[in-house]
Structures are given as C-alpha cells and as structure tokens.
Amino acid sequence: MHKRTLGNSSLEVSALGLGCMGLSHGYGPATDTQQAITLIRSAVDRGVTFFDTAEVYGPYLNEQVVGEALAPIRDQVVIATKFGFTFGADNKQQILNSRPEHIRLAVEGSLRRLKTDFIDLLYQHRVDPDVPIEDVAGVVRDLIGEGKVKHFGLSEAGAQTIRRAHAVQPVTALQSEYSLWWRESEQEILPTLKELGIGFVPFSPLGKGFLTGTVTADATYGSDDFRSIVPRFSQSALQANQGLVVLIRQIAAQQQATPAQVALAWLLAQAPWIVPIPGTTKLHRLEENLGGADITLDAAELKAIDAALAQTPIEGERYPESLKARVGR
C-alpha cells in the first residue's frame, strides 16, 4: 500500500489506516481478543501501518488489544490514541476531562496498555469547554519534549480551536467524521487544515456501515450498538437515504469495485493529506476496504459524483441531541 504524509508533518502512514474501535466498543459485543489480534496483524501483513484506538474504547480494552497485537512489530507501525474523558463508577458514563494533570495520567495509562514507550499521535478526543485549548496544547507540547508523544492531534474540534491549539503546539492531524454522507467539514474545516498544513483523518468513512450497501432500509440494532440511538439510522432515515446507496452502487459497477471501495477512493481523492480509518471485525471486509486504495477516480468521475450528490439529499442527524454539544467546538 502506498503511503501518505499527514499535513506538513514528518508523520508518514499507510494511505488507509485501521480504526480499531469496533473490535471492542460501539458496535455490539467485543470481538474475541485473539481474533482481534489476528485481524490487526493481518492488516499489518497487507501494508497497513496506521492504527487508531482510544482509552474510552472499552474503556481501556481496545488499547490493550492494540498494544498486544502490535508489540512485536512496534517499530513498523504508527499508533494513534486519545485522551479526554474520565468514567463513572460503572465505566459507562463518559465525563469530559482535559485538565492538564488528567492528561498526564491518561498518557501514562495508554503507554502501559499499549506496551510502548511513546505514542506516535495523541489526540484530544473531544474539546473540553472547561479547559482552555492552549493549556491542553501546552501539556502535549511538554509530553513531546519528554519523548512520550511524537505528534499532537485534535478530534471533532472547530476551526478556531484548531488555530488556537496550533499556535501553541503544531497540530499534525484532525480526526473528524467525513464521508459521502457527511460532508460538513468541507465548509470550514478542510480549508483551515489546508492553510495550516494539518492532515485529516476521517473516521466513519463508510458511514458506520451504511455506505457499504449492506444496510437495508429495515435494519435494526441492539442496545449495545451505537447506531441504535443515531437519528440517521432510524427506519425513516434509512429508507429516505437509500438513494445514496443506489448512486454508489452505480459508480461501483462502472469501476468494477464495491460501494465501500468507491466511498474510500472518493475520500482519498479529496486531498493527498487525507487518511481514512475504516474499521471492521472481519478479514474479508478488511481486504475489501484496502482495495479502495487501488481505485483512482478521475476528475470527470468526481465531478459527476458531486453533481449526483447535490441531487441526493441526506436525512437524519449524525448524533443524538445528547451528544451534539461535544462536537465542533
């Protein structure tokens, strides 16, 4: 797999990374640990060098799995993880916390679970309105100076927050949602990143599975699946959004590819400093996703997709009301 560099930094990664969250969090029961380790190592064998995790995934379990899987080949891979929460007594309640002393505690825990001496890319998972972003960036700057962290990242931050953080410690990458069915970042975020030389790591590049073409209009999800509370996955929204799937299938047929591969190829075509991180628990899906890096959409095809998308309105919010306050600050 070819490589990409995140913005103006020195951080080079595979063109597609692996989002590891779903192996232990968010989409139903956790994958068997050995199966998860096998999948992660299979990704390495296929050229993936960029792995994304966070302390909140589990909590903690995902970092442990990623650490175990990558420990034997630590010098060959880039590991990204995130801080920004404390947890209730049952480890289910997530409380924003980016106080400087907590960031240091979180990093020590991540280093231990990941079985490593340093974190390649450390993100603030969500902006904490009670802590100035300059203080957050300052702590990460100090951690970089101590050799415990190599690069600083933000997740779901707004343009002004990005600028303020970048002025204290250069931001290597922003991680936020971006895909054929969620393009809000094109309005203000992408121009800001381009101006400042910051890379972009889209999560949910396959629309939490919707863009694979395997989610039917009558799909339902259990209470342990995050999509069960996402308005965009309501019955009415799924029905209304099937037109997007039809469009992607048509393009995929022309490319002799799958809808998922087209969705990833479209993202890769938006800028050379964009590195999507699709997640999966299945080897055949991993192989399918990685095939998206081998597809090139030309200017005419991209223009046709944009024109078709303009005529394909998307219904439903991407987050429930209770979580909207955490994004875009």
Instruction: Quickly name the fold that domain 3-324 has.
Output: TIM Barrel (3.20.20)
* Cα gap 21→102, rounded to integer Å: 22
In which residue are the tokens 């020195």 written?
A: 10
Q: Is the pLDDT of residue 209 over 90?
A: yes
Instruction: Report yes or no: 259 and 250 within 8 Å, Cβ to Cβ.
Output: no
User: How far is C-alpha 66 from the geometric centre of its chain's CA atoms?
Assistant: 15
Q: Are 213 and 260 in contact (CB under 8 A)?
A: yes
pLDDT the model gives residue 279: 98
* Whole-angstrom distance, CA of residue 268 vs CA of residue 296: 9
pLDDT digits (tens, 9 = 90+) for 165-194: 999 999 999 999 999 999 999 999 999 999
Give the pLDDT band (50/70/90) at residue 88.
Answer: confident
pLDDT at 89: 78
The residues annotated with a catalytic role in the active site are 57
Confidence of residue 12 (pLDDT cuts 50, 70, 90): very high
- CA 184 to CA 237: how far, in whole Å? 18
Rounded percentage of the chain residues whose pLDDT exceeds 70: 100
Between CA 9 and CA 243 the distance in angstroms is 39
Phi, psi of 44 (to 5 degrees): -60, -45
Residue 90 pLDDT exceeds 80: no
Domain boundaries, the chain: 3-324
Which of 80, 84, 56 has the alpha carbon at shortest distance from 67?
80
**Residue 206, token pair as written in the block:** 């396959």
Q: Residues 6 or more apart from 285 whose CB is under 8 A from it?
A: 212, 260
The 10s digit of each residue's pLDDT in 267-321 is 999 999 999 999 999 999 999 999 999 999 999 999 999 999 999 899 999 999 9
Give the pLDDT confidence score for residue 49 in this predicted structure.
Answer: 98
> In this predicted structure, which of 85-94, 152-161, 197-206 has the lowest mean pLDDT?
85-94
Query: CB-side exposure of 70: number of CA atoms within 13 Å?
Result: 31
Residues 6+ apart with CB under 8 A from 229: 320
CA distance 287 to 136: 37
Give the type of residue at 5: T
Cα–Cα distance for residue pair 228/116, rounded to 1 Å: 35
pLDDT score at 186: 97
Mean pLDDT score, 127-137: 98
3-class secondary structure, 177: strand
Tens digits of per-residue pLDDT, 91-109?
778 999 999 999 999 999 9
* Residue 4 clears pLDDT 80, i.e. is over it: yes
Q: Which of 29-38, 53-62, 201-210, 316-325 has the lowest mean pLDDT?
A: 316-325
Which pLDDT score, from 0 to 100, does residue 324 have? 85
Which segment of 3-12, 193-202, 245-254 scores lowest on mean pLDDT?
245-254
pLDDT of the residue at 250: 93
What per-residue confidence (pLDDT) applies to 218? 94
Is the predicted pLDDT of residue 328 greater than 80, yes or no? no
**Mean model confidence pLDDT for the chain:** 96
Residue 107 tokens, joined: 């990093």
Does this model's pTM top 0.95?
yes
Find all residues with CB under 8 Å of 257, minimum gap 6, and list them: 265, 291, 292, 295
- Non-local CB neighbours of 293 within 8 Å, separated by 6+ positions: 1, 2, 15, 16, 264, 265, 268
